[in-house]
Structure 1
Amino acid sequence: MSEHLVAVAETTKLARLLGITDPTELDFLVDLPPAAIREFRERATDLLFDRDTKRLKGVAAGAKLVPVTISAKVAERAFGPTLCAAVASAVEPHRAIDIAKSLPAPFLADCAVQLDPRRTAAIIAAVPAKLVVDVARELLAHGDHITMGRFVHVVPEPALRAAAPVMSDTDLLRIGFLLEDKTAIDNVLHIVADRVPGVIRAAAAQSMWAEGIDLLDSIAPHNRAWIGNITAGLGDDVLDALINAVYELDAWTTLLPITSAMNHDSLRLFAERPAVHAEPILAAIMDTALDGGQWVNLLPLAAHLPGAQIEFIAARVAAETDTRLGELVREADAAGLWDALIPIALAMTDDNRRRMAALPVLSEPDVLRAVITSTAEHDLWAQALPLVDALPDTVKPILATCIGDLDREQLLAAVLTASRGDNIHTLVDIALAQDQQGRARILEIIDGMDDLEEFLAALTVETPEIVWHALIEVRAEIPTGLLTQLAERARELGRDHDAAELEPLGATTE
């Protein structure tokens, strides 16, 4: 997408050089690498400027022999803008500026059209801000954004600031698209930061999303967040127009890095748009994420999507081979995005979740520690416990160690969540797999729970045998009060044998 737009910008500038009024006549070139088109344009420029080098230098030398006012008159009435542009690079910068000050702005604008910024950068950098503004006004009056785009990177910041007010938001968008040096875009954004909302609205109002998206593709990573947040704050109509344009232009490789940099509220607004939920658009996003290297940029967006859309993503991810699925897990882990990946794993079918859990990457201690840490930090126990339950028995000692590293509040949250869901057996099994000190800590926390009744109620007739066996195995470590209540709960469930095993020593039953 970006390569195509850059090629369009290059053919537009080439058409100007060749005197072609309709740039679309060069559309047959847009499939070529933009660098090749630019190289051709620069070589053609060199050919035009270098063919009369000796004579041009002679003319420039002659300019030194007459007063500035006479040189200016000769330049305007005898030479004309084309010859003046050709001679400019051979004139000393301070002399060229003195002559320019004596020339009318319309004539200077005509000269600027013919100038080569590679040859005249020193002159342009020394042009007074007022003169830059006057020339900019003339160029804009003729709709000449090409010339302005070619010189932005060599015009000093004070002059750019002075000229910015004469440009409309649409002008800024068109000039940005035609920048000779796209690395200058971040400096331009810095200068016109207050104009960015208007530029984005102009892209929507003028159906110029291609130009806008090209600029988004050019900005540095540190500018992505505030640009994305501004866009999200411009309302549903702008967001919908952007989403549909990106889909039509297949520009998700440009937009996903922007959305991933947004703050929580802005990303939520983006993710709530029905356009994002449409299956064709979501499918295009997934194609870009899985095949275009944008997986870690998709995950923050996925975390804000509704359940049905997360299920769609989960199905696409699960369709990958084990090798590729392992790569996706490792990329998410390296980016610290387990809080986004865990809900996707939960949305998988049981078979696919077990397949994911069996991947070698999920047996690595550092990865498992990241899973538990992220789960605790984001309170994702309800989503994570099914994934943990699917992990092989061989990793339970590692998980037990990770659980033991959590603070009291995190452990309490895990116990409460497990007791309110269908995964109490998972947490009990792992918690009791710790060493004695770790088990004592867990049992003490359970014993002191304000919601102990809720925990006990989670033990039902469907609770796996392994949970009861684990409790009986560590009964000597269970506080007496908790042990008594566990025995009572077992008896309520008709598990008299287990109740007898759990009964504290010396206790009597009726």
Structure 2
Amino acid sequence: MLASQIEVRKLSTLLDQPASSLADLTAYPPEALRQLRHLCEEKCFASDRGRFHRWAQWSSLVPPPLMAVLARRAGPLLTARVATEMPSHRGAAIARRLPAPFLAKVCQHLDPQRSRELIRELPPTLLVDTALTLIDDGAFMLLGRVADALEDDATRAVMDAVVEDGNLLRIALFMESRTRLDHLVRLLPRERLAQAVLLATDPDNDLMLEVIALLGNLGYELKHQLGDLVANQPATVLARIIQVAEQHQLWPDLVPVIAELSPATQQRLLELPVLRQQPEILGHIITAADRHGLWSRLLPLVGMMDPGLLQEVGNQAAMLDRAAIERAMEAALTTEQWHALVRVAQYLPAQRQQDIAEIIDAYGKVDPALRQRLVTLAKENGLQALFA
């Protein structure tokens, strides 16, 4: 999942290790990786905390202007560790007297959990200057953490100051809170948000991962609006999105987004030639749906497929075992997507069809009326021999 890849990148930055050395961790759920990162952060910032706390107490006797001078002499790391132990209003009073380039370096060493109030007490003009410095340094991961802590006025000021829309997407990629991300996107003027998304679909920009992450993390309404905006681009752009998702195996992130698009947009995606030219993509989508509990999202899309695409789906689904078939049928049971499942069943190998028939018979022991309805539906789709 993209969320797991992002968590590994955050963890690699925290541990000052190449992301490639932690690549195996992407197999774990993002929630587990986030907990691991928070534990590592706590361990790192707990080191010598007592000593930094005593220094912060001592510094309370020193006027803020003089502390600002001492901070620049002490350097960004020591300043960050002591600032975290100060009352937020005291740290903000000192920070106001420090230049933005120095504060940008201090931000790289702040405890992200314990410095939120300090960040919120900084004036918007200083936050803007610091943010622009961090952008120049390419510190988008850090900016994502900082963005979680900003008040709305400061957020608007930073957004207005960031000229390149693509940088907003790069920052959004690393935000921690989905709720906060949704709120910040709502603060952004619609025309600018649309421009940012359109910019990302340009082949000359390497922003497709950011767009997929943004779509996956937004609430339903915004996901629907932006998803349709992206999907209404030329077919070449849509094919590129599919290829990026395939290259990075982002189907657990993209399938839920596609499931919430308008039916007309969904149909347009299903008609893309790349799905027929590279049928293994369908196999990877099916595997992702089974591994990540997305059958209920995938089955409605299957129900919209033409016979040619259903044949390809059947060919790829032939590799599923009985347990996967049971999970798909359970999703069909809970979401009433039997029509889609039975339609594709006619393209499955005989063994998988037999599995479906046996599972339907098992349902009949609990709900005979359901079995009769499913048998009728199966026979209408060319599966008469299974219930002779």
Please, what TM-score do these two structures have when normalized by structure 2? 0.80
Counting aligned pairs with the same residue, the percent is 24
Structure 1 residues 97 and 309 mapped into 2: Cα distance closer, same or farther (>3 Å)?
same
Distance of 2:189 and 2:318 partners within structure 1: 43
Distance of 1:73 and 1:354 partners within structure 2: 76
Question: 1:10 is matched with which residue?
Answer: 11
Question: 2:126 is matched with which residue?
Answer: 131
- Please state how far the C-alpha of 1:145 moved relative to its aligned partner: 1.7
Structure 1 residues 323 and 366 mapped into 2: Cα distance closer, same or farther (>3 Å)?
farther
Residue in structure 2 matching 1:106, options 92, 101, 122: 101
> Does residue 62 in structure 1 map to residue 61 in structure 2?
yes
Question: 2:228 is matched with which residue?
Answer: 229
- Please state how far the C-alpha of 1:281 moved relative to its aligned partner: 1.2
What is the letter of the counterpart of residue 186 of structure 1?
D
Alignment of 1:50-449 (within 5 A): 50-59=50-59, 61-63=60-62, 66=63, 68=64, 70-71=65-66, 74-75=69-70, 78-167=73-162, 168-181=164-177, 184-192=180-188, 194=190, 195-204=192-201, 205-220=204-219, 223-277=222-276, 278-317=278-317, 325-345=325-345, 347=347, 356-357=356-357, 359-360=360-361, 363=364, 364-365=367-368, 367=370, 385-386=380-381, 392=387
Structure 1 residues 83 and 266 mapped into 2: Cα distance closer, same or farther (>3 Å)?
same
Partner SS state of residue 31, structure 1: helix
Aligned-pair Cα RMSD in Å: 3.5
- Please state how far the C-alpha of 1:163 moved relative to its aligned partner: 0.9
Partner SS state of residue 144, structure 2: helix
Partner SS state of residue 148, structure 2: helix
Q: Deviations over 1:42-71 (max 9, x none)?
A: 422332655443223211x113xx3x5x34
Partner SS state of residue 61, structure 2: helix
Partner SS state of residue 299, structure 2: helix
Q: Deviations over 1:388-417 (max 9, x none)?
A: 866858xxxxxxxxxxxxxxxxxxxxxxxx
Question: 1:471 is matched with which residue?
Answer: none
Which one has more relative contact order, counting CA pairs under 8 Å at least 6 apart?
2
Distance of 1:286 and 1:4 partners within structure 2: 21
What is the letter of the counterpart of residue 360 of structure 1?
D
- Please state how far the C-alpha of 1:93 moved relative to its aligned partner: 2.6
Structure 2 unmatched ranges of 5 or more = none
Structure 1 residues 217 and 42 mapped into 2: Cα distance closer, same or farther (>3 Å)?
farther
What is the letter of the counterpart of residue 147 of structure 2?
V
Question: 2:22 is matched with which residue?
Answer: 29
Instruction: Say which is worse superposed, 332-341 or 96-105, in terms of deviation.
Output: 96-105
Distance of 2:105 and 2:322 partners within structure 1: 63
Checking the alignment, whether the CA contact within 8 Å between 1:353 and 1:390 is kept in structure 2 is no
- Please state how far the C-alpha of 1:349 moved relative to its aligned partner: 7.8
- Please state how far the C-alpha of 1:310 moved relative to its aligned partner: 0.5
Distance of 2:240 and 2:187 partners within structure 1: 26
Checking the alignment, whether the CA contact within 8 Å between 2:342 and 2:381 is kept in structure 1 is no
What is the letter of the counterpart of residue 9 of structure 1?
K
Q: Deviations over 1:148-167 (max 9, x none)?
A: 12212211122112211233
- Please state how far the C-alpha of 1:267 moved relative to its aligned partner: 0.6
- Please state how far the C-alpha of 1:271 moved relative to its aligned partner: 0.8
- Please state how far the C-alpha of 1:327 moved relative to its aligned partner: 4.3
Distance of 1:173 and 1:51 partners within structure 2: 39
Q: Deviations over 1:247-291 (max 9, x none)?
A: 111221111111111110111111111112221212222222344
Q: Deviations over 1:205-244 (max 9, x none)?
A: 4334444444445445665433422221233232111111
Q: Deviations over 1:437-487 (max 9, x none)?
A: xxxxxxxxxxxxxxxxxxxxxxxxxxxxxxxxxxxxxxxxxxxxxxxxxxx
Distance of 1:79 and 1:355 partners within structure 2: 70
Checking the alignment, whether the CA contact within 8 Å between 2:290 and 2:327 is kept in structure 1 is no
Structure 1 residues 187 and 14 mapped into 2: Cα distance closer, same or farther (>3 Å)?
farther
- Please state how far the C-alpha of 1:302 moved relative to its aligned partner: 1.7
Structure 1 unmatched ranges of 5 or more = 16-22, 376-380, 394-510
Distance of 2:103 and 2:168 partners within structure 1: 21
Partner SS state of residue 115, structure 1: coil
- Please state how far the C-alpha of 1:367 moved relative to its aligned partner: 3.1
Question: 1:400 is matched with which residue?
Answer: none
Structure 1 residues 27 and 338 mapped into 2: Cα distance closer, same or farther (>3 Å)?
same
Q: Is the radius of gyration larger for structure 1 or structure 2?
A: 1
Structure 1 residues 79 and 261 mapped into 2: Cα distance closer, same or farther (>3 Å)?
same
Distance of 1:303 and 1:315 partners within structure 2: 16
Q: Deviations over 1:329-374 (max 9, x none)?
A: 33212112234234324556899768745622564356368769xx
Checking the alignment, whether the CA contact within 8 Å between 2:216 and 2:223 is kept in structure 1 is no
What is the letter of the counterpart of residue 189 of structure 1?
V
- Please state how far the C-alpha of 1:73 moved relative to its aligned partner: 5.0
Structure 1 residues 147 and 253 mapped into 2: Cα distance closer, same or farther (>3 Å)?
closer
Checking the alignment, whether the CA contact within 8 Å between 1:197 and 1:230 is kept in structure 2 is yes
